[in-house]
A and B are shown apart, each in its own frame.
Chain A
Amino acid sequence: MTASGSPARGSTRRVPPPPAPSIEFEAVSFAYPDGTRALADVSLRIEPGEMLAIVGQNGSGKSTLVRHLNGLLRPTGGRVLMDGTDIRPVHVAHLAARVGLAFQNPDRQLFAGHVSAEVEFGPRNLGIRGAELAERVALALAAVGLEGVAGANPYDLGYSRRKLLALASVLAMRTPVLILDEPTTGQDARGVARVQDVVARAAADGRTVIAISHDMRFVAECFRRVVVMRAGRVALDGLPSAVFAEAAWPELRAAYLEPPLPAVAGARLGLGATPTGSEFVAALAAGLRNR
């Protein structure tokens, strides 16, 4: 998949991103100017290098929550801390070097005349130039499979590829915290696999990865911690095996979510918590052996 001239995949780790900060939401509330209360007293600690998925109904406060991490929104109550320091006085431009956010709608993010200029913009603003800039752009495009369209106009790409381009633009900034808002919507099976790959490699580099998603299979398979939001509050928080376990289903359904099919099938067969297909198959095999 690597096109001629672009560096091999493994070399992303040659220049590791700076160490990820710990993140703490301390009783954070947020109300939009029209009075809509989007977050109510959210307390959440995210350790460096965690892989966290945020799930919940449309309008439950997921996007509002993550926008507090790069300063796009500031809490109307409570504090957001990074490495123990309140980030309220920290300018958005400084936070941008630490926290990369790929928007849900790529068209709110893309503006450049061609694909590689789009990807260059972020790292260039962080002061990266020359060979390192070129390398970052090439690696980011290769990570999402767009290395063949570097010269194209972003708006000549279909929606799914524009979305991957927006992701590449954020990857090229090599921020220690990577936030993806609905990264799999509009992607076909190959696109979803690419996004899964990006998440796994970012985590392997020690970055903190936070994703908002409605795709419960993606969440169960790729993330080690799941936070369920409901009406601006954290309703559930734990391992996928806990959040998708039968005991949590009433709370999940109250948040308008459905557990993934392997979790439902595992519970029906009395196999315990099996949020992913492979856990279901392993539990089924163990159950058959013990019979």
Chain B
Amino acid sequence: MAIELSAVRYRYAGASVFALRSIDLRLEPGRVVGVAGANEAGKSTVCLVASGLAPGVVGGLLEGSVRIDGVETATLRPHELAQRCGLLFQNAATQVSNTTATVFEEVGFGPCNLGLPVSEVGNRAWWALRAVGIEKLAARDPARLSGGEGQLVALASVLALRPKYLILDEPTSELDPAGTSLVADALGRVARETGAGILLVEHKTDVLAQIANEVVVLERGAVALAGAAAPTLADPRLAELGVEPPAAVRLERMVRAAGLEWTAAVAEAIE
């Protein structure tokens, strides 16, 4: 049981270069796998490929194998993919259905399309709104939200589908620090309590330090670093790869670089 990418290469339709050159990655249920990397390293493309949208919907050329629970994504139809795997786009505004009058209906739109009974649609919508802390937006018009609020609504809409795998492309990019920690807590809880596997693209490595089990760092379409979250996020090569280390890692490095003693008290204060 997993989403597995093996020796994946991918080229967008009409592009002359491969956006992904060599990707091996495995996402198991209940796990959070973080994806980091410099701008244009291939993070969003990995999301499209892992969810089966590329090449299925987006087109382009895929080499290697992408399997969801052992089935090649190329053999699945869009609605079959959607039931297994939920995808949150980087620009959340492109994701809103524009067909609903309230945030509550927007979040219920996906479960409704799964053909669930009305009571279950309602339960799921409330659960998802609560999970990201936006119950109070339920009656609002989805077209009249701030950037941060819109991003939380889009995330709730994906969570409400209760997919086995969640693929999230920078879900906190427009959120303030409080919104960011709220989403980080919510995603950690969703993975633990619903057993969903979460692939999480994030520039904010503090979020990855908080909830990721493993971290994969991309560079020009290939995996440059991969492993358990803590050691990968403390890897000295991270900065060269264009990724800002978590605040605690930076501070520890500065203390050591100044030749100061790394005592237990200092370590505890930085924790």
Is A256 touching B177 in the complex (CB atoms < 8 A)? Answer: yes
Contacts A188-B242, A265-B251, A288-B260; A57 near B178 (Cβ below 8 A): yes
Binds B, one of A20-28, A65-73, A117-125, A158-166: A158-166
Closest chain-A Cβ to B6's Cβ sits at a distance in Å of: 26
* Cα separation A189 to B178 with both chains bound (whole Å): 22
Bound complex: CA A257 to CA B40 (Å): 30
Report B88 CB to chain A, min CB distance, Å.
15
Taking CB atoms, residues of chain A closer than 8 Å to B243 are 188-189
Question: Is B203 an interface residue when CB atoms closer than 8 A count as contact?
Answer: yes
Across the interface, B178 reaches (CB within 8 A) one of A257, A269, A277, namely A257
A214 to B177, CA, bound (A): 6
Give the contacts of B158-185 with A (CB-CB under 8 A): 170, 173-181
User: Are A284 and B247 also in contact (CB < 8 A) when A58-B147, A189-B242, A214-B177 are?
Assistant: no
Q: Mark A133-172, 1 if CB is under 8 A from B, else 0.
A: 0000000000000000000000000111100000000000
The answer to the question of A19 belonging to the interface, with a C-beta cut-off of 8 Å to chain B, is no
In the complex, the chain A residue whose C-beta lies closest to that of B44 is A158
Which residues of chain B have C-beta atoms less than 8 A from A56's C-beta? 176
A59 to B260, CA, bound (A): 42
A160 in contact with B39 (CB, 8 Å): yes
B258 in complex: contacting residue of A258, A262, A269, A281, CB < 8 Å:
A281
* A217 neighbours in B (Cβ, 8 Å): 247
Shortest Cβ distance from B181 into chain A, in angstroms? Answer: 8
The reply on A190 being an interface residue by CB < 8 A is yes
Interface membership of B255, Cβ < 8 A: yes
Q: Does B149 contact A58, Cβ atoms closer than 8 Å?
A: yes
User: Inside 8 A of B80's CB, which chain A residues have their CB?
Assistant: none
Q: What is the CA–CA distance of A191 and B37 in the complex, to the nearest angstrom?
A: 12
- Bound-state Cα–Cα, A59 to B39, Å: 27
The reply to whether A188 and B39 contact each other, CB–CB distance below 8 Å, is yes
- Across the interface, which residues of B come within 8 angstroms of A187, CB to CB? 39, 203
Q: How distant is B148 from chain A, measured CB to nearest CB, in Å?
A: 4
Q: In the complex the two chains form, is A256's CB within 8 Å of B173's CB?
A: no
B176 contacts A257, CB within 8 Å?
Answer: yes
The answer to whether B251 and A216 touch across the interface, beta carbons within 8 angstroms, is no
- Select from chain B the residue with minimum beta-carbon distance to A193: B244
Contacts of B250 in A (CB 8 A): 277
Q: Is the CB of B147 within 8 A of A257?
A: no
Any A CB within 8 A of the CB of B270: yes
* Interface of chain B residues 21 through 61 with chain A (CB within 8 A): 37-40
Q: Is the pair A57, B251 in contact by a Cβ cutoff of 8 Å? A: no
Q: Which of A58, A258, A262, A288 contacts B251 (CB 8 A)?
A: A262
> Which of B91, B170, B178, B242 contacts A256, CB < 8 Å?
B178
A216 with B177: CB separation less than 8 A: yes
Task: Answer yes or no: A12 CB below 8 A from chain B CBs.
Answer: no
User: Given known contacts A189-B239, A265-B270, A269-B265, is B254 in contact with A278 (CB within 8 Å)?
Assistant: yes
Which A residues from 239 to 289 make CB contacts under 8 A with B?
256-258, 260-262, 264-266, 268-269, 277-278, 280-281, 284-285, 288
- Among residues of A, the one whose C-beta sits closest to the C-beta of B177 is A258
Please give, as numbers and ranges, the residues of chain A lying within 8 Å of B37 by CB-CB distance.
Answer: 188
Asked whether A261 and B147 contact (CB < 8 A) given A214-B176, A216-B177, A278-B254, the answer is no
Which residues on A sit within 8 Å (CB–CB) of B193? none
- The answer on a CB contact under 8 Å between A104 and B251 is no
With contacts A59-B146, A192-B244, A280-B254 taken as known, whether A186 is within 8 angstroms of B170 at the C-beta atoms is yes
A285 & B258 in contact (Cβ 8 Å cutoff) = yes
Interface residues of B in 105-126 (CB under 8 A from A): none
**Is the C-beta of B248 less than 8 angstroms from some C-beta in chain A?**
yes
A158 touches B176 (CB 8 A): no
Asked if B269 lies at the interface with its beta carbon under 8 angstroms from chain A, I say yes
- Bound Cα distance A49, B91 (Å): 35
Q: How far is the CB of B141 from chain A (nearest CB, A)?
A: 11
Residues of A within 8 A of B177 (CB): 214, 216, 256-258
B 240-263 contacts with A by CB, 8 A: 242-244, 247-248, 250-251, 254-255, 258, 260-261
Query: For B254, what are the chain A residues with a Cβ–Cβ distance below 8 Å?
Result: 277-278, 280-281
Given contacts A189-B239, A264-B269, A277-B251, 12 further A-B contacts (CB under 8 A): A105-B147, A160-B40, A185-B174, A214-B176, A216-B177, A256-B179, A257-B178, A262-B247, A262-B251, A280-B255, A281-B260, A285-B260
Some 18 contacts from A to B, beta carbons below 8 A apart, are A57-B178, A57-B179, A58-B148, A58-B176, A105-B147, A161-B39, A186-B39, A187-B203, A188-B203, A256-B177, A262-B247, A265-B270, A269-B265, A277-B254, A280-B251, A281-B260, A284-B260, A285-B260
For the complex of A and B, 8 pairs with smallest distance between CB atoms = A256-B178, A58-B148, A261-B247, A160-B39, A268-B269, A189-B244, A265-B269, A188-B242
Interface residues in chain B, defined as those with a beta carbon under 8 Å from any beta carbon in chain A: 37-40, 90-91, 146-149, 170, 173-181, 203, 239, 242-244, 247-248, 250-251, 254-255, 258, 260-261, 265-266, 268-270
